[in-house]
Each structure stands twice: as structure tokens, then as C-alpha cells.
């Protein structure tokens, strides 16, 4: 008799500290009780998160495997062997939804190759919550991840995004490393057309959440937004 394969669960994390009770749903608490092995970015944070979501879990019986930048994942031994043997496996991101602007998609790809069931959970995403609340086009949009840092490349990229946005009525979404947010904001103000809409979503789901959409010419007249070192999402529509 062939043993059933395990399931790969994609577990969202909170975006803002101490919002577990308000932004997460009951399903997550339930599914966490069924998982033996987790792929996570930071093991200590993941342990703390799981304990917060479900205090009944015996956390010392769970195996955590790092998929951080410098870790070496052995996909055969760490993932394939246990999941085809029937272990349920979870992926948790440091913030928001796993596999969206976050690592994990290579593990999911292998799961599909092995015909393993992949189950995503509902959770917060600063990208999608900013888009919802932007008032910009949610019928046609692109997420680019990070834009180039080099000034000339950045300028070319922004001009290209404005062109595509105008041609396709398409919202252009991107992010930046939080300590470079102010720099990016200033570059956008300088490089974009006055009539282009810019939405900034900062501290999404947090107490200081603000999601604001203005034309570039309007942003120029306002005090600079306080987004230095604050996780933020940017959306352009030309």
C-alpha cells in the first residue's frame, strides 16, 4: 500500500507587530497544528510567530529549515523525502504572503513536479492592500519588485513604466529597501510627469497605516512623507 504524500501549506505572516489577532483567520491556527516541517527565512522569528498563533503546538517537535539568503537548502533530503513520505510541510515568510516578493517559489515548483497538493492561506499583503486602497487601476497591473538603483537606469525604468502605464492603463507597483525609500520618493518626484498618479502605502495594517494617492504635482506641494526606514509600497499610474 502506498503511503499518502504530505501537503505543502503556504502560511502568511503578519506585516505589523502584534496584529495576529486582528488580521489572521482561524484557518491558519488550525492548519499550523498539522505541519511537521517548516521552511522559513529566520528560524527564531518563525518559532515565535507559531507560538503566538497557536499556543497548543509542541514547538520542539517541529523541524525548521532556513531558506534565507545564505542557507543551503538540500531540496532532496529536506523537502522531497519527507513530503513524499507523508509529512506536511509549511512555508512561512518573514512578513506577508510567502512566495510573493519573498522566497519559497522554488519549493512550490518542486511540489507541482511531484504532484503534491499546494494550499495557500489567506493573509495580509502590503502590495495588494495598497493596490486595493490606491484608487488606481486594479483591473490591470504589474508588480516589478525592486527598481534599479543606478540613477540613469532608474530614470530610464521610470520613463518606461510611465509609457507602459499610459499605453495599457496599467498600474505599476514596486518596492524599495526601507532605508532607501526617501531617496526613491525624491527621484520619483523629480523624474515622473506632473500628471502621473503616485500612491504610497506605508505601515500597512499597522496603527500608523497610511495609503495616499496624489498626482506628482500635488506631492510636490506637500511635506515629504515620513517613510524613511518604514516599509512602503509605491504605485504609479500615468
- Smaller CB distance to its own copies: residue 180 or 214? 214
**Cβ within 8 Å of residue 44, ≥6 positions away:** none
Between 187 and 209, whose beta carbon lies closer to its own copies? 209
First to last CA, the chain: 60
Binding-site ranges for its own copies (CB under 8 A) = 10, 21-27, 30, 97-102, 105-106, 108-112, 117-120, 122-125, 128-145, 170, 204-205, 209-214
Q: How far is the CB of 179 from its own copies (least distance, A)?
A: 20
Q: Closest separation between CB of residue 16 and its own copies, Å?
A: 11
Helix (H, G, I), strand (E, B) or coil at 57: coil
Judged by CB, which is closer to its own copies: 102, or 184? Answer: 102
- Phi, psi of 229, deg, nearest 5: 65, 15
Cα–Cα separations (whole angstroms), residue 160 to 101, 157, 172: 21, 5, 10
Complex with its own copies: residue 46 or 233, whichever CB lies closer: 233
For helices 151-168 and 181-191, the axis angle rounded to 10 degrees is 60
The rounded distance, in Å, linking the Cα atoms of 201 and 53 is 26
Read off φ and ψ for residue 16, nearest 5 degrees. Answer: -110, 145
Instruction: Tell the smallest beta-carbon distance from residue 61 to its own copies (Å).
Output: 25
**Residue 121 beta carbon to its own copies: minimum distance, rounded to whole angstroms:** 8
| 1 or 126: CB nearest its own copies | 126
The CB-of-116 to its own copies minimum distance in angstroms stands at 11
Amino acid at each position: 500500500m502506498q503511503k499518502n504524500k504530505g501537503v505543502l501549506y503556504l502560511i502568511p505572516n503578519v506585516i505589523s507587530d502584534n496584529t495576529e489577532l486582528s488580521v489572521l483567520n482561524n484557518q491558519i491556527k488550525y492548519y499550523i497544528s498539522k505541519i511537521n516541517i517548516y521552511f522559513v527565512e529566520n528560524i527564531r522569528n518563525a518559532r515565535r510567530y507559531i507560538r503566538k498563533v497557536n499556543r497548543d503546538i509542541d514547538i520542539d517537535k517541529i523541524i525548521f529549515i532556513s531558506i534565507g539568503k545564505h542557507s543551503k537548502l538540500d531540496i532532496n533530503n529536506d523537502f522531497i523525502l519527507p513530503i513524499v513520505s507523508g509529512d506536511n510541510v509549511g512555508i512561512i515568510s518573514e512578513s506577508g504572503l510567502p512566495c510573493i516578493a519573498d522566497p519559497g517559489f522554488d519549493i512550490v515548483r518542486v511540489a507541482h513536479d511531484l504532484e503534491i497538493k499546494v494550499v495557500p492561506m489567506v493573509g495580509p499583503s502590503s502590495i495588494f492592500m495598497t493596490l486595493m486602497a490606491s484608487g488606481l487601476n486594479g483591473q490591470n497591473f504589474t508588480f516589478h519588485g525592486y527598481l534599479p538603483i543606478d540613477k540613469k537606469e532608474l530614470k530610464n525604468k521610470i520613463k518606461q513604466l510611465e509609457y507602459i502605464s499610459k499605453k495599457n492603463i496599467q498600474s505599476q507597483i514596486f518596492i524599495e529597501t526601507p532605508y532607501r525609500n526617501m531617496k526613491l520618493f525624491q527621484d520619483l518626484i523629480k523624474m515622473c510627469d506632473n500628471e502621473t498618479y503616485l500612491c504610497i502605502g506605508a505601515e500597512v495594517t499597522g496603527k500608523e497605516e497610511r495609503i495616499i494617492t496624489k498626482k506628482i504635482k500635488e506631492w510636490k506641494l506637500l511635506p515629504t512623507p515620513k517613510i524613511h526606514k518604514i516599509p512602503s509600497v509605491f504605485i504609479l499610474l500615468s
